[in-house]
């Protein structure tokens, strides 16, 4: 695999030009000149808008959160409505409803019609079509609470609520007290399940299991990925592995889906127990990034041992440094996992390094249809 390298623009002529440009951009007089000049005006305005969007991002998110919590998009699903009817349905005063609708309209979530009524706009419609978004927005109440003082978080002066939401993350490597008792796995398992559909489809499109016979999905949660794989690939025998209390939930769900005979469920601790053997492909979907390097290496070694010769590992998660998805990988997941207390988003190259260290060969990055939510790196056991 061609290792991903960060652009090395910190030396030479380019670095000197860049550093002069940065100094100029920081100068208010230059900013005013650039904004007025016909040559640079569009560029200056674009940069100003980008900076403003970052500064105001929290407010934008909360406008979306209010729309979702008040089910504004649901109300508009069947067609446009006037402000009074939206106010009545949401329990807001008409003036407050109008304030929200105008904000949502400015963000492309709803559309203000000439008649004074409001209808769905593209982003509101997309939110309706992706229930994952609503699940994440609801979950953000915890994350944003922890991020209220980002500097305190970065300095390690406070441990937030997010670590409690993910009990396995609150345990340090080697301390399996909480993992053994599994903590409260129901809340995070439900969130993972609600947000799995997009991920599973993207992973299975990127990696359609050509010729593989036995899949082990490690950290398989409630079994949603295993269920999608079972439905798409009828010839595949599948085992889903997770902490015992999560495995129980997977078993119950697979029975409800009528897939319990196709998908075996095994409970255990991937950091300490051997994984079920005899599989020729192992998936780690949104699992590795939850772990610091030492635990990640332990997990990869366990996967290596569980695979048959020439078996393949598939690491699928949002990654760092993916072109076009940088804010999601490094800003969103970088801070999310930091607040959670463990793990980090890795570049495909960093994942390849961990794979090579644990004995895998021929790491390869596969393209996915939606790198915002998931990228894929595969490698082989010799």
Ligand X SMILES: C[S@@+](CC[C@H](N)C(=O)[O-])C[C@H]1O[C@@H](n2cnc3c(N)ncnc32)[C@H](O)[C@@H]1O
Interface with ligand X, residue 270, by CB under 6 A: yes
**Which range in 16-24, 25-33, 128-136, 285-293 contacts ligand X by CB under 6 A?**
285-293
190-209 positions binding ligand X, by CB under 6 A: 192, 196, 199
Rama region for 137: left / alpha / beta (φ>0; ψ in -120 to 50; rest): alpha
Interface with ligand X, residue 290, by CB under 6 A: yes
Interface with ligand X, residue 286, by CB under 6 A: yes
Interface with ligand X, residue 279, by CB under 6 A: no
Interface with ligand X, residue 339, by CB under 6 A: no
At residue 180, φ and ψ (nearest 5 deg) are: -60, -40
Closest CB to ligand X among residues 212, 342: 342
In the numeric block, the tokens 């709803």 are attached to 110
For the bound state, the minimum distance from the C-beta of residue 251 to ligand X, rounded and expressed in Å, comes to: 14
Closest CB to ligand X among residues 75, 275: 275
For the bound state, the minimum distance from the C-beta of residue 309 to ligand X, rounded and expressed in Å, comes to: 25
**Which range in 22-30, 216-224, 251-259, 348-356 contacts ligand X by CB under 6 A?**
216-224
Interface with ligand X, residue 220, by CB under 6 A: yes
Burial class (CB in 10 A: 0-12, 13-18, 19+), 20: exposed
- What is the token pair recorded at 256? 């409800």
Closest CB to ligand X among residues 86, 275: 275
In the numeric block, the tokens 């021929």 are attached to 362
Interface with ligand X, residue 329, by CB under 6 A: no
Closest CB to ligand X among residues 124, 221: 221
Contact 98, 55 (CB under 8 A): no
Interface with ligand X, residue 165, by CB under 6 A: no
Cα 241 to Cα 267: distance, rounded to the nearest angstrom: 6
Contact 320, 345 (CB under 8 A): yes
Interface with ligand X, residue 287, by CB under 6 A: yes
**Which range in 30-38, 75-83, 125-133, 215-223 contacts ligand X by CB under 6 A?**
215-223
Q: What b/e string do you get for 107-144 counting C-beta neighbours within 10 Å, with b at 16 or more?
A: bebbbbeeeebbbbbebbbebbeeebbbbbbebbebbe
Closest CB to ligand X among residues 103, 246: 246
Residue 45 Cα to chain centre, angstroms? 31
**Which range in 13-21, 62-70, 282-290, 339-347 contacts ligand X by CB under 6 A?**
282-290
> What are the helix (H) ranges across the chain?
12-25, 28-36, 41-69, 72-76, 83-90, 94-106, 122-129, 131-146, 150-154, 162-165, 167-170, 177-181, 185-194, 196-206, 224-232, 244-256, 293-306, 326, 334-340, 348-357
Interface with ligand X, residue 179, by CB under 6 A: yes
- What is the token pair recorded at 240? 């889903």
In the numeric block, the tokens 């078993």 are attached to 251
Interface with ligand X, residue 269, by CB under 6 A: yes
Question: What string marks each residue from 234 to 263 as x (binds ligand X by CB under 6 A) or -?
Answer: --------xx--x-----------------
DSSP string over 141-193:
HHHHHHTTSHHHHHTT----SHHHHSHHHHSPTT--HHHHH--SHHHHHHHHH
Cα 171 to Cα 376: distance, rounded to the nearest angstrom: 27
For the bound state, the minimum distance from the C-beta of residue 366 to ligand X, rounded and expressed in Å, comes to: 17
Residues, the chain: 382
For the bound state, the minimum distance from the C-beta of residue 238 to ligand X, rounded and expressed in Å, comes to: 13
Q: How many residues line the site for ligand X (CB under 6 A)?
A: 20
For the bound state, the minimum distance from the C-beta of residue 352 to ligand X, rounded and expressed in Å, comes to: 21
Interface with ligand X, residue 330, by CB under 6 A: no
In the numeric block, the tokens 């053994």 are attached to 180
Nearest Cα to 373, choosing from 299, 322, 335?
322
Closest CB to ligand X among residues 82, 132: 132
**Which range in 101-109, 133-141, 219-227, 321-329 contacts ligand X by CB under 6 A?**
219-227
Q: Nearest to ligand X by Cβ — which residue?
A: 219
For the bound state, the minimum distance from the C-beta of residue 196 to ligand X, rounded and expressed in Å, comes to: 4
Give the residues lining the site for ligand X (CB under 6 A): 168, 179, 185, 192, 196, 199, 219-221, 225, 242-243, 246, 269-271, 285-287, 290
């Amino acid at each position: 695999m061609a290792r991903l390298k960060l652009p090395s623009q910190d030396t030479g002529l380019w670095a000197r030009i860049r550093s002069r440009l940065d100094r100029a951009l920081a100068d208010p007089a230059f900013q005013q000149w650039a904004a007025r000049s016909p040559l640079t005006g569009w560029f200056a305005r674009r940069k100003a808008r980008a900076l403003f969007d970052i500064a105001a991002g929290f407010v934008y998110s909360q406008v979306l959160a209010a729309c979702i919590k008040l089910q504004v998009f649901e109300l508009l699903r069947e067609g446009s409505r006037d402000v009074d009817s939206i106010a009545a349905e949401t329990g807001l005063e008409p003036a407050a409803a109008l304030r929200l609708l105008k904000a949502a309209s400015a963000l492309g979530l709803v559309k203000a019609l000439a008649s004074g009524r409001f209808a769905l706009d593209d982003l509101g419609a997309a939110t309706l079509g992706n229930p994952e978004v609503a699940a994440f927005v609801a979950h953000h109440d915890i994350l944003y609470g922890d991020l209220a003082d980002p500097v305190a978080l970065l300095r390690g002066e406070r441990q937030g609520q997010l670590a409690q939401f993910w009990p396995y993350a609150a345990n340090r490597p080697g301390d399996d007290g909480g993992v053994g008792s599994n903590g409260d796995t129901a809340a995070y398992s439900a969130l993972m399940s609600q947000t799995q559909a997009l991920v599973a489809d993207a992973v299975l499109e990127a990696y359609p299991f050509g010729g593989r016979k036995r899949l082990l999905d490690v950290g398989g949660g409630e079994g949603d990925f295993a269920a999608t794989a079972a439905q798409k690939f009828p010839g595949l025998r599948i085992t889903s592995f997770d902490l015992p209390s999560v495995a129980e939930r997977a078993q119950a769900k697979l029975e409800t889906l009528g897939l319990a005979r196709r998908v075996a469920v095994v409970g255990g601790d991937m950091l300490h127990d051997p994984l079920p053997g005899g599989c020729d492909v192992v998936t780690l979907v949104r699992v590795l990034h939850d772990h610091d390097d030492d635990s990640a290496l332990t997990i990869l070694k366990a996967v290596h041992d569980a695979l048959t010769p020439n078996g393949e590992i598939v690491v699928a998660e949002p990654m760092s440094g993916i072109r076009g998805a940088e804010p999601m990988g490094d800003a969103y997941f970088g801070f999310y996992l930091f607040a959670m207390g463990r793990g980090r988003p890795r570049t495909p190259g960093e994942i390849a390094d961990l794979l090579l260290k644990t004995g895998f060969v021929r790491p390869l990055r596969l393209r996915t249809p939606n790198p915002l939510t998931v990228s894929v790196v595969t490698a082989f056991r010799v």
